[in-house]
Amino acid sequence: MKRIFYLDGQPVPFTSGQNVLEAAIAAGMARQIPYFCYHPALGSLGACRQCAVKIYPHDDKHPPRVTMACLLPASDHLQLATVDQEVHTEHRKIIELLMLNHPLDCPVCDEGGQCHLQDMTVQTGHAVRRYSGPKRTYRDQDLGPLVHQEMNRCITCYRCVRFYQDTAQGDDFGVFGSRDRVYFGRLEDGPLESPFSGNLVEVCPTGVFTDKVFRHDYARVWDLQQGPSVCPHCAVGCNTLPGARLGTLRRVRARHHPEINPHFLCDRGRYGFRYVTAAERPVRARLHGVHSRQDAVLRQVATRLQEGRSGFLGSPREDVQSNLALFALADCLHAPFAALSSPWMEALAQQCMALPQAPTLNDVEMADHLIVLGDLGGVAPMAELAARQALRHGARLTVLASRPTALAEAGDYRPTRPSALPDLVTGLAEDACLQGSRRPVILAAAETLGPAGVHALRKTLARLPANARAGVFQNSPNLFGAAYFAADGHTVRLQHALRQREIDHLLCLAADPLGSDWGAGIWRSLAPGLQGVTVLDMVDTDTVRAAETVLPMAAFPERDGLFINYEGRIQAFAPVYRREAQVPSWQENTRGFPAAAGGQMHPLGPPTPQYWLGRLAELLDIVKPWQERLTFYQRFLCPIAPRPDHPGILLDDALRARFEIAAAPAAAPVGTEDWELDLFRWHGGEALADAAAELQSLAPSRGLRLNADVDASFATLSGPCGRLRLPVLPIVGMVAGVAALDQEGFAQLGLHPGEAVQIQWETVS
Amino acid sequence: MSSPISIADLQDTALIARLQALVAESPVPAAAISAVLYTLQDARGYIDDVALHAAAQLTGLSPVRVEELCTFYSLVLRAPAGRHVLRICDSIACHLAGAQDLLAQAQAYSGVALGEVGLRGALTVVPHVCIGLCDRAPALLVDGEAAGPVDATSLAQWLEQWEADAWKPS
Ligand code: SF4
Ligand code: SF4
Ligand code: FES
Ligand code: FES
């Protein structure tokens, strides 16, 4: 039966557990009840006293009374009114009180136009200020490069501190003082430490916390072009709402996805977008390192391809269609193709594909027991945020990692060597820690677990009760999309062809084989056999700098496409704006002719990868077969592509099941005396986000992280592909015999997490 | 949030031992925070940054949490105070009974703003939330001892006494 109550005589549907305000907002009747401190993710507090309604009790013993809608549980046939003199007075007086100290600075406030306080003030009709006394003022803090603070605008709704301390469980931000002098900030100036700090900007209903990056290149919200997009910075695939103006991307906000990210984003997702505006971003075609005409560069690439000595390399950083377009081109030319840069990654991708359906982040929040393998927060921060919500609901947490990660501090930390993970995962089915849990969820950092570990995880899941679920994460947006093309041995075959001098040209799509991609060490050793490298990319990489031909690509918010996230969910993103090439003002008069005169008024930004590949197909005279293959594969992979504002479609189970036959990967044995490597990532790090200056100013220093007992200042690591000297960074509580290294380091050495490494120590006094 | 200040910076082993004992006998370390702060305040006069961070480390709370507590409870002092601390209640009952006049009188006598140290180090006057003596309004705390109802004359007596003490050669 549908449950309803009545608000001003209109029926409002509700579900049990909802309060009146929540139900009214859900029913689109929020205009009747102004509110501040209630937030769907943070719940009710009753602090602001703004959400008054009048309740008419069913009995005649009690007179009607004014009460707070956010604290009133919805119940059947409740009679409520807001069209009432008393309620109206309450609404007006409360907002007048809240506005007493508020500065009259809307014209210079970044929140203006998207301000809840502004909306509520107008909505309740508070238009004239009667108070003319002195206002309470504060000194603002410098909270780092991401969030700007302007404390005088505060209305003490406590949303910020509830988000920061309760939801995100951060401990460097709080609320100080009492009475009418309450301050929301840090103990002292300094950057906010939470990986979710940017959400303060969205939860604060006033202009106290605003986006400091957006501030540098600000536009009023009504001037922004916005559109549905998907975060490209990790496998979670949070939904985003980028905003652009005059051909430049200005900010990213969270877009509601009921099962992934109903309200929030991590700071990588919010601030990583600055790769789009980075000065180093390749935006013009290059031939031998010099900006050249598109046609000249394309002709050079076509000549290379015509020689029939080319190999193709795709990437999990690129969307489905671009990888498809590349695959189709390779197919037409009968050239070797690999979607992933290393056989290890290929095996990992296949094992991830073969896993049974992963839990949504919503499911993770509902878990009653969590087992986390590796540093989840460094890879997929929003997955960590979901895990923290489960903790708040009383879930137990066991963390198997080589170092006490932020999440490990909140649960039972079991120091673990990465090489031991496959065996430990196998043992989980018998482990006492899972006994008695009703909704156990295992979350893992894919690369730390490795192919053998993910394989063990699948076998373990088969032995666990059916309610046990597992999700495996890494930090590229489309591993599943790329894994689809990653048949066994593709990468090996491509590398073999290069080694045998069968090919001497490599066409890379958003891959960085000569830089920091997995397996880059091998590629670098093979590089002397390359006559030329062609790269399509949207960030500056080692490979871009070394390439013979560079074809710049549109960034994700500048085009449409599909990503497949860690659940196998196919999500579409739409073009939000069109980048216009940035022409320095002194060149104003040398711009192209107006369109009427046969020229371009606004030179367009970099085209999509499909455009480039299509042009190449044209030059090679294979447009028809290329397009046929493209359509065929796309129909096969996602017969019905979702629309950009759709919550996404899950990859067909049958498609995934075929990866179950992939050979069980073997992990190299590591002796207990050996030093072994684990992967170090931080919450802001990822190939694209690495080009976001503001975010990267917070990056932890580079070095080799290991147990604080080791007495050395520098370490020289040697691997099959090279050596690397790094400063030693001591970590208290880290497992002895494990050293954590960034992906770049792994690439240079030619090693993978959980593998043994030779280390020479140096002590500098 | 990690802090560069450690417990050892208190430089008082007896005090540290007492604090550790307080934490040890508390059911959970965090629950000892009030006792730890009072002990630190007694020993050092007020909660300076060293004491704040020490209290955080001893109880496992973050320094932000400890500061939240210190700034909320007016019995905890975060700035140096005079030898005598006069906490004058200005909550509703006392306010109606003339607390504002007492505050103004005491503050004028101290010669400095509320919360600052006046009378050659002898006196600090602070407003205070209800101390539960509403029936004896206006009420105040003189060096931690409750008194009320207080009028201008009795207040002046204390103040004059302290002023005399302040000028006594020590
Ligand atoms: S800073 Fe913003 S979110 Fe925090 S209490 Fe003030 S108005 Fe509310
Ligand atoms: S968790 Fe991943 S997908 Fe979500 S906002 Fe962060 S980086 Fe983007
Ligand atoms: S929203 Fe109900 S009291 Fe603030
Ligand atoms: S109001 Fe002063 S003691 Fe209660």
User: What confidence tens digit (pLDDT) does each residue in A258-270 have?
Assistant: 999 999 999 999 9
Q: Is residue B136 part of a domain?
A: yes
Q: How far is CA A46 from CA A66, A67, A189, in A?
A: 13, 10, 30
Has residue B162 been placed in a domain? yes
Query: Cα A467–A455–A234 angle (5° rounding)?
Result: 80
Higher pLDDT, residue A652 or A219:
A219
Task: Give CA–CA dist B46/B38, Å, rounded.
Answer: 9
Q: What would the two tokens of residue A571 be?
A: 């999500």
Asked whether the predicted pLDDT for residue A429 surpasses 90, the reply is no
Kindly report, residue by residue over A202-246, the tens digit of the pLDDT: 999 999 999 999 999 999 999 999 999 999 999 999 999 999 998
CA distance B170 to chain A (A): 37
Supply the ipTM of this predicted assembly.
Answer: 0.91
Q: Which residue of A has its CA nearest to B65?
A: A174
In a domain, B2, yes or no: no
Per-residue confidence (pLDDT) for residue A430, from 0 to 100: 85
Ligand 1 probe mutation, A49, A192, A204, most atoms within 8 A of CB: A204
Q: How do beta strands A225-226 and A65-68 pair?
A: unpaired
CA atoms in the 13 A half-sphere facing the CB of B36: 31
User: Where does a domain end: B72, B99, B122?
Assistant: B72
Q: What is the structure's pLDDT at A434?
A: 79
Instruction: Assess whether B40 and B111 both reside in one domain.
Output: no
pLDDT above 80 for B58 = yes
Residue-wise pLDDT for A635-646, tens only, equals 888 888 899 999
Q: What is the mean pLDDT of residues A546-566?
A: 95
Give the nearest partner residue to A187 out of B1, B74, B129, using CB atoms. Answer: B1
Query: Do B67 and B90 belong to one domain?
Result: no
Number of domains in chain B: 2
pLDDT at A9 over 50: yes
Is the pLDDT at A672 greater than 50? The verdict is yes
Of A171, A177, A179, the CB nearest to B64: A171
pLDDT on residue B169: 64
Q: Do B137 and B162 fall within a single domain?
A: yes
* pLDDT confidence bin for A193, thresholds 50/70/90: very high
B47 and B101 in a common domain: no
Nearest CA to ligand 1 atom 4: A160
Q: Rounded to an integer, what is the distance from CA A52 to the centroid of its chain?
A: 38
Domain end, chosen from B45, B72, B99, is at B72
Measured in Å, residue B102 CA sits from the centre of ligand 4 at 13
B1 close to A (CB below 8 A): yes
> How confident is the model over A120-139, as a mean pLDDT?
93
Indicate whether A590 pLDDT > 80.
no
Q: Answer yes or no: is B124 within a domain.
A: yes
pLDDT at A710 (0 to 100): 87
Question: Is residue B134 a known part of a binding site?
Answer: yes
What confidence tier does A603 reach under pLDDT thresholds 50, 70, 90?
A: low
Region A494-517 average pLDDT: 95
For residues A367 and A443, give the distance between their C-alpha atoms in angstroms, rounded to a whole number.
11
Q: Which ligand is nearest to the CA of B87?
A: 4
Q: How confident is the model at residue A476 (pLDDT cuts 50, 70, 90)?
A: very high
Contacts of A184 (CB under 8 A, 6+ apart): A151, A154, A160, A161, A173, A174, A175, A176, A208
Q: Which residue has the tokens 């503001």?
A: A694
On whether both B20 and B88 belong to a single domain, the answer is: no
How many angstroms from the chain centroid is the CA of residue A476?
9
What mean pLDDT do residues A657-661 have?
Answer: 85
Task: Count Cβ atoms below 10 Å from residue A534 Cβ, excluding itself.
Answer: 25
Over 50: is that where the pLDDT of A433 sits?
yes
**With an 8 Å Cβ cutoff, are A178 and B71 in contact?**
yes
Rounded mean pLDDT of chain A?
Answer: 92
The annotation status of B89 as a binding-site residue, yes or no, is yes
- Residue A487, pLDDT > 80, answer no
Question: Do B60 and B93 lie in a common domain?
Answer: no
For residues A54-75, average pLDDT: 91
Q: Which residues contact residue A285 at a Cβ distance below 8 angstroms, ignoring those fewer than 6 apart?
A: A291, A292, A293, A294, A296, A297, A298, A549, A550, A551, A552
Q: What is the average pLDDT across A595-619?
A: 75
Across A411-425, A656-670, A709-723, B5-19, least confident range:
A656-670
Is the confidence at residue A629, as pLDDT, over 80?
A: yes
pLDDT at B80 over 60: yes
Residue A267 sits at the vertex; the CA angle it makes with A399 and A272, to the nearest 5 degrees, is 120
Q: What does the pLDDT read at residue A592?
A: 47
Tell me the CATH number at B92: 3.40.30.10
Contact between residue A539 and residue A275 where contact means Cβ atoms under 8 Å apart: yes
Domain architecture of chain A: domains with CATH = 4-99 (3.10.20.740), 133-276 (3.30.70.20), 286-349+481-576+606-653 (3.40.50.740), 358-476 (3.40.228.10), 675-762 (2.40.40.20)
B100 touches chain A (CB under 8 A): no
Average pLDDT on A739-754 reads 94
Please indicate whether, in this complex, the C-beta atoms of A176 and B71 are within 8 angstroms of each other: yes
pLDDT tens-place string over residues A18-35: 999 999 999 988 788 999
Distance CA A590, CA A586 (A): 9
The reply to whether the predicted model has a pTM over 0.80 is yes
% of chain A beyond a pLDDT of 70: 97
The reply to whether B66 and B94 lie within a common domain is: no
Q: Are B11 and B48 within one domain? A: yes
CA–CA separation, A197 and A188 (whole Å): 16
The 3-state secondary structure of A446-462 reads HHHHHHHHHHHHHHHHH
The mean of the pLDDT values for chain B is: 91
Residue B104, in any domain of the structure = yes
Contact at 8 Å (CB) between A373 and A448? yes
**Ligand 2 mean position to A194 CA, how many Å?**
14
d(CA A62, CA A233): 57
Of A354-368, A583-597, A692-706, B123-137, which range is least confident? A583-597
Residue B77 lies in a domain: no
> Is the domain of B106 the same as that of B60?
no
- A451 pLDDT above the threshold of 80: yes
Of B64, B72, B74, the CB nearest to A187: B64
- B161 — contact with chain A (CB < 8 Å)? no
Which positions ≥6 away from A252 have C-beta within 8 Å?
A: A229, A231, A240, A241, A242, A243, A265, A269, A270, A271, A273
In this predicted structure, the answer to whether residue A353 has a pLDDT above a threshold of 90 is yes
Residue A320 has pLDDT above 80, yes or no: yes
Q: Is the residue at B118 inside a domain? A: yes
pLDDT at A594 over 80: no
Residue A655, helix vs strand vs coil: helix
Q: How many residues does chain A have?
A: 765
| Parent domain of B52 | 7-72
- Whether the pLDDT of residue A701 is over 80: the answer is yes
How many other C-beta atoms lie within 10 A of the C-beta of residue A714? 15
Counting from 1 in the atom list of ligand 2, the atom nearest the Cα of A380 is: 1
Show the CA angle centred on residue A212, arms to residues A155 and A123, nearest 5°: 35
Q: Do A177 and B62 touch (CB under 8 A)?
A: no
The answer, yes or no, to whether residue A587 has pLDDT greater than 80, is: no
Say yes or no: B43 and B93 in one domain. Answer: no
Mean pLDDT of A656-684: 87
Q: Which among B72, B103, B125 is the end of a domain?
A: B72
Same domain for B63 and B97, yes or no, is no
> Are residues B64 and A172, on separate chains, in Cβ contact within 8 Å?
yes
Is B51 part of any domain?
yes
Residues B11 and B66 in one domain: yes
The residue among B59, B70, B71, B89 with the most chain A CBs within 10 A of its CB, best to mutate, is: B71
Instruction: Classify residue A385 as left (phi > 0), alpha (psi -120 to 50) or beta.
Output: alpha
B156 confidence band (pLDDT: 50, 70, 90): very high
